[in-house]
Amino acid sequence: MLIVSQNRKCLLNMERAGTVFLSSLYGGHEEGKPVKVLASFPLAEDVTESLGEYESEARAMEVLEEIVQEYGMYFRTEGSAHKAAFAFARPKVYRMPEK
């Protein structure tokens, strides 16, 4: 799955990312500071990319849940007398919300 960053300047391939996580270094526990959603990369030590920042930890958690929901979607058809049922993962792109 591809994720387009909030500022639309970065395209993250989830198959190559290590982890997508919230950063408490940019807020999270401090009132008024944005919470960043970051992606890390498995073969690059201490390299992260900001995918977006949100007004609260709760909103950033909602965005992570939306990513999970999109990633888990697939197409499914019911079988019939002449066709077998099948399911497949569709190509996916998630665009980080503005707010």
Domain residue limits, the chain: 2-95
Whether the predicted model's global pTM rises above the 0.85 cut:
no
SS3 15: coil
Looking at per-residue pLDDT, the higher value among 32 and 82 belongs to 82
Round to whole Å and give the CA distance between 99 and 95.
12
Q: Which residues, other chains included, contact 78 with Cβ-Cβ below 8 Å and sequence gap of 6+? A: 85
pLDDT at 81 over 60: yes
Confidence band (pLDDT; 50, 70, 90) for 54? very high
In the sheet that holds 48-54, the strands lie side by side as 19-23, 35-40, 48-54
Percent share of the chain, pLDDT over 90: 27
Confidence band (pLDDT; 50, 70, 90) for 28? very low
SS3 87: strand
pLDDT at 30 over 60: no
Other beta carbons within 10 Å of 33: 15
